[in-house]
A = this chain, B = another copy of it.
């Protein structure tokens, strides 16, 4: 997940870790609030795998590298050719992890780069997933409605409401995707 997010951001522009995390938060908000403890190890891992590379300090004419007013150590990363391939590979996946609670938000945040038919598969997979959850909640509430703890019942009630709304929300997105496919709509960035 973080791998996809980092590669997706670095494809747009080189950045250092701190900035990366701010951008991540701007896009994903609290859907996936990655922490430092994930980010830095991931950067190391991606670097070792040569999917990203650290830009050299680049001594300027007057040059102490980072020097002058630049921060002492500020590792700016850029995506490599292999990294781009890997990103495309990740973007092309539409398996369960692509519509998990965890993964769906991340994928959606980089949907513009995702091929249209993969987008469709992910949205439909997510829809199926959320429907399952909704149906499970419904049957639990109706069938065993009597013997369930009050608080648990409330929790399920909220879950039912949430899932119903997400299904409707997904339907809107799917409709929009379809209309894009028919060329009816302008693909507004």
Contact = CB atoms under 8 A, between A and B. Distances in A.
30 contacts: A26-B144, A27-B149, A27-B152, A29-B133, A29-B136, A29-B137, A29-B140, A29-B156, A29-B159, A30-B159, A31-B159, A105-B155, A108-B152, A108-B155, A109-B151, A109-B152, A109-B155, A111-B151, A112-B151, A150-B188, A150-B189, A151-B173, A154-B169, A154-B173, A158-B166, A158-B169, A161-B165, A161-B169, A162-B165, A162-B166
Judged by DSSP, the binding face of A is helix
A91 to B, nearest CB: 13
Contact of A149 (B105, B154, B189): B189
Contacts of A109: 149, 151-152, 155
A125 to B, nearest CB: 15
Contacts of A157: 169
Interface range for A: 20 to 34
Q: How many copies does the complex hold?
A: 2
Of A30, A109, A112, A156, most B-chain CB atoms within 10 Å? A30
A38 to B, nearest CB: 15
A108 B165 contact: no
Interface of A: 26-27, 29-31, 101, 105, 108-109, 111-112, 133, 136-137, 140, 144, 149-152, 154-159, 161-162, 165-166, 169, 173, 188-189
B26 A140 contact: yes
Contacts of A155: 31, 105, 108-109
Nearest to A119: B151
A147 to B, nearest CB: 10
B189 A133 contact: no
A150 B180 CA distance: 13
A152 B189 CA distance: 11
